[in-house]
Chains A and B, each alone.
Chain A
Amino acid sequence: MLPPPRNGSVLICLALLLAPFASSQQTPSRPLPAPTDQEQIVAYWTTETGWKSELQLRNNQIGRDLTVTPVLRTAYGAETSLSSVTIKPQEVKAIDLDAAIGTTAPQLVGTYGSLVLRYRSPGSRSLYASLMVRNIGHPFAFHIDATGETQDLQAGSREGIWWLPKDTTSDYLILTNQGKITLPLDLSLYDATGKESKQRALLGPHETTRYSIRKLILAARLSGSYGGIKVSAASHSGSLDTVHFLFDEAAAFSAILKMFDHDPNSKLEERDFAKTAVWTLRAPMLALSNPDPALAFPPGTSLRPQLFIRNTTGKPVDAALRFNWRADSSSGKATGPALRLNPNETRRIDVAALQNSGQLPKQANWTSVTLTTNGLPDEVMAVAASFDDTLRYGAQTPFSDQLSFQWEGGMWEYDAYHSSFITAGNGGTKPTQAAFTLFYNQGAEKYELEQTLQPDDQMWIDVGKLIREHVPDKNGKALPADLSSGSFEIRDLTDIGIGSLFEGKLIYDKTYGHVTYGCSLCCTYGSPWLAYNPLGIPFTGDSQNGVWAYENCSSHNLDVSSYFMNNWHTGSTAIATVNYMGTHHGVGVGSTTSNTHGYLVYGYTRLCPASLRSPSGSANVAAIPVNFIQNVVSLGAGISLYFHYVWESSTGPGRLSDLSNCQVREFVTLPPDRTHGGYYYWASPPYATGYTTSNPDTGATPGPATAGGLGDTLLHVPFSSRPYATDDVTANQVYQFSCTNYLSGQWIALLPTSGTLPIRRVVSQNPWQYTITKTGWSNSGTLP
């Protein structure tokens, strides 16, 4: 209870809550980038006799549908739009091009070209797309990934390997110009020793040209069954895409020979994801001589795994091979041969021979292959193939140097004739926690697994087995028994900045005994930014800054501060200092810059390179109000309560004038139930009619923080005449400050620093009485 009033007033000095010296930070909020027009391009489609093209589209975004318009380009670049397709988050949709073309575009029947996918989204990687090319009645199936045009890549090349295992083998080398500028190209073919045959080619805007390597080899009088391909452009090479595949009706065989971009200006640090100082390529799922029974090849089938490794440069390069093999119940590591490749040489490595010689166990079913070089990225490329002697049965696995924190996978399949293997491996040098998710039911449901992976370890997912055996996920959930397709995602939970995971997917088709591989989409970040810019730092106080970036697959903003630690600095240590983790300390009132740097997987190119990024911003050391305390409470006439508060400047006692860029206010919210159009309507009775209060209400504030104190009188609107009615209203009050040079003018709570101060106004009866209460202090009076 308050002491009795004296001389008509009561002044009570109270030292109540102290506001913390450095005010609490708010959660940084930044909208996603505005949706913009995006494009991905598939280098080849065909509706020629016997061939079928199926487009597979997946929406990688969280919580947003994605509408994609496929546009078919003829070989000459003429465009025809197909119907748009809307894809739910994580859903994968298959579109048969024959059906989509229908009868509306007869010029697209029996021909080929490239395909553009147009969509609007904040991030270019919100769409995963690939095209499956199949041939009716033959075991020909391969996938072609959609890619974006890399407009700033000038001189560069596409590098490949040709392989003609039988005289009956046919092939296509497809060159597509994704851009609007004609590309003059050099097409070079090499035999295994590096002997070159070069010819010129011209690729008009959006054009697609198809070559037969067999014919070119014959014309060039090159010999052998394998060698190299280089398609180079002196400029705009980022608009060039190429695909090379083989098919053999007689042998019932097909294969895709993955081609690689070669940017001569690539830096090792951008592509050395594991920070091992050597450039590393991996093939995750090479089927060994003794095939996994899960592949359902006929009993007794023996595969002949082999690698084709090519030096894409005119100088010798060294390469080394390692294997991480696995059998039904065992696994292990093996070192392969070290190679010195002559200029432009292509060498075949017979992995089956390594098994026969005991370097790899004969009983092993699978191996990942790791190839390291002493050169720059893409100076060596490799293709893996594993087929039986007839080429009828077999599988492939692509090489890639990419490690990522997140992979968005395409379609997996499971039915009586198909099943899917998916792997995620740790290509880093430290253990990592990998999360694997299968999405199904149009992306609405998910099945989640997690596993700690030691360096070089892989998690193997046999999707058919998970379904058949009702294997529970980490949440105890089993996949429905009738599930037949969906999409997937792999995430590195330990390292979200660059990541250390590689991936692989195989889908086998029992109809033909054929296995195709699919690639996933690596995710990148946009330009990182400082969480607070400008950062407000209280004089002699601390403020934490961090770094955020937009992740452009899932389309959300992520805190990536940990990748920018140890690199913080400020422009002037006389104004602010900063420690290794971005905690800034205000030394002197003023403005300076704050910077840091770190590596993130960054960019919008075809690759996902690790890139050094240097976000920077302003740091303002400001005087802010501190030590906000309630020092007086009194009861007033008219059944009121009076509170007085004082504060100081963070620059010290007696320095209130330093707060001239700050304002202080009260912020009061009233109940929503009687609020319309921004006004709270006081109940009548018991209050007189027509009285309203703004809701929220800042009363006669804000006011100058230089005042150093304020008095707050809590009143009531006039009462109605009798008869009265009871009423009970609680308003919630916070005292706040805002400074132009601190946290972008955000209003920061002074008292209380969290929550609110309830102000309760009650009209009760027997007798009719009004009571106002705040922070334990009350005043009551009888109604007139």
Chain B
Amino acid sequence: MRTIIALGLSCLLAVVLGAGSSPTHPQDKSTDIQYRLKEGSVSLHEPVVVLFEVHNAFSQPLTLTLGAQNKQFFQFSLTTPDGQVLQSTPSSMVNVVVFDGFGKAVVAPGEDYQQPLLMNQWFPFRTAGTYFLTSRLTTEIEISGDGNLPPKSQTIRLTVSARDPERLTKVCADLARQVEEAPNAEAAQEPALKLSYVEDPISVRYLAQVLFSHKLTDHIAIPGLERIGNDDAIKALLSALDDKFGDTADLARQALARMEDRISDPVLKETVRRALAPTPTD
């Protein structure tokens, strides 16, 4: 066994941890970093998407270190309408996989960078009202050959209007259609993710539709159904137990096992219990 005590910095962690990095550069006023709500307004339970935007006014390229899935190194704080302050939980992943082309973004001089952030991944927006979101990319922005820009926080106001079932249905239908009509599995991932965070009974049928479209979104749709957790969601998961595509049946089984204790309908609970009971193999 080869054991090395000396510490090296990997390409990723060298930046992440920031120890011993080059001196920081004073914030350049002409470099515009901002967070804004993608849609002008959202109703309760709709996906809340905030855009992280960077305009590079420098004459050198900027390098952004975003981390896994281009979101790992963002940190948020949310003040809810009732005054509660929620903090996003820092990642405690022990295996951090970053696909090539992700994790870092280089912004050429004069160019803009935009990264949508689905805020529902960090916070549940449970009530209508006004929220205040403070966002920060925790890593420094590297100016090629000219130091770093320190992390900068920004607070924006988000207004979530009352639940609008008609609008929510349209949003869900549109996202489900985007998944089904996606030209490939890769293109199906983002709309499926947004749909999965519509924590509302309305989304159940659309999540089931997405799940059975076999676009490699089962790892997204099934947790979505689990989050909703109503009887219809459980029935959709029970149907998924017979699905032979990919991991669908396994993921549905795991989700139902986690949900079993909180099922209130005794008939449904018994159905789930039987479905999860070991069966003789062929």
Contact = CB atoms under 8 A, between A and B. Distances in A.
Interface of A: 1-2, 4-5, 8-11, 29-32, 63-64, 556-557, 634-640, 642, 646, 660-664, 666, 668, 677-678, 691, 693, 697-718, 733, 738-740, 744-747, 759, 761, 771, 773, 776-781
Contacts of B68: 699-700
B258 A713 contact: no
Contact of B8 (A8, A664, A761): A8
Nearest to B19: A637
Contacts of B93: 693, 699-700, 715
B100 A707 contact: yes
A640 B10 contact: yes
Contacts of B184: 660-661, 740
A740 B254 contact: no
10 contacts: A9-B14, A635-B6, A642-B11, A700-B69, A700-B72, A700-B96, A707-B99, A711-B100, A777-B2, A778-B2
B2 A637 contact: no
Given A64-B280, A642-B10, A661-B216, 15 more contacts: A1-B4, A9-B14, A30-B282, A634-B9, A635-B4, A635-B8, A636-B10, A640-B10, A701-B97, A710-B99, A714-B95, A740-B214, A776-B2, A778-B1, A780-B5
A773 B3 CA distance: 8
Contacts of B275: none
B185 A710 contact: no
B245 A637 contact: no
B186 interface: yes
B69 to A, nearest CB: 5
Given A5-B8, A635-B4, A740-B185, A700 B97 contact: yes
B20 interface: yes
B215 interface: yes
Given A697-B95, A710-B97, A746-B246, A780 B3 contact: yes
B17 interface: yes
Interface in B158-195: 183-187, 189
A219 B175 CA distance: 82
Given A8-B14, A740-B214, A744-B245, A707 B101 contact: yes
Nearest to A714: B95
A697 B280 CA distance: 27
A492 to B, nearest CB: 22
B30 interface: no
B246 A745 contact: yes
Nearest to A715: B94
Contacts of B9: 5, 8-9, 634, 636-637
A776 B1 contact: yes
A747 B246 contact: yes
Contacts of B183: 660
Contacts of A666: 95, 97
Contact of B17 (A637, A660, A707): A637
B247 interface: yes
B246 to A, nearest CB: 3
A628 to B, nearest CB: 13
B274 interface: no
A11 B8 CA distance: 9
Given A10-B8, A663-B185, A738 B3 contact: no
Contacts of A703: 69, 97, 99, 102
